[in-house]
């Protein structure tokens, strides 16, 4: 009997914990003048600048990591604090890689 109780306690202790998934509670607008630039939000590709520009992205509040990449430009990284219920706007200005430098 004691073994059975110990085994049950062990199983309960090893059970996976439920993850709490937070729903989006804010909006983020990401704009970039390079239409082919790739936009990433917290390391997830969300689309090209021409696709995401001008439309709100439903996001969870907190600090979000935005990355914008385009061939021939330096990659831009931004940590954007977003409050619950906020509508934040981020304008990303990419800089050209000079001729002769890697990535240019």
Tens-place pLDDT, residues 32-60 = 999 999 999 999 999 999 999 889 999 99
* pLDDT cut 70: percent of the chain above it: 78
- Whether residue 6 lies inside any domain: the answer is no
Instruction: Residue 5: count other Cβ atoms within 10 Å of its Cβ.
Output: 9
- Whether residue 10 lies inside any domain: the answer is no
Region 88-94 average pLDDT: 96
- Whether residue 37 lies inside any domain: the answer is yes
- Whether residue 11 lies inside any domain: the answer is no
Q: Structure pTM?
A: 0.75
DSSP state of 25: -
Question: Would you state the pLDDT for residue 101?
Answer: 74
Show the DSSP H helices in the chain as ranges. Answer: 2-14, 49-52
Total number of domains constituting the chain: 1
Instruction: Residue 82: count other Cβ atoms within 10 Å of its Cβ.
Output: 19
Q: Is 32 exposed, middle or buried (0-12, 13-18, 19+ CB in 10 A)?
A: buried
- Whether residue 14 lies inside any domain: the answer is no
- Whether residue 26 lies inside any domain: the answer is yes
């Amino acid at each position: 009997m004691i073994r059975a109780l110990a085994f049950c306690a062990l199983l309960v202790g090893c059970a996976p914990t439920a993850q709490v998934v937070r729903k989006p509670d804010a909006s983020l607008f990401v704009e970039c003048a390079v239409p082919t630039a790739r936009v990433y939000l917290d390391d997830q590709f969300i689309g090209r600048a021409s696709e995401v520009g001008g439309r709100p992205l439903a996001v969870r509040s907190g600090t979000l990591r935005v990355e914008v990449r385009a061939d021939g430009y330096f990659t831009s990284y931004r940590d954007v604090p977003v409050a619950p219920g906020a509508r934040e706007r981020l304008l990303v200005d990419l800089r050209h890689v000079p001729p002769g430098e890697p990535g240019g």
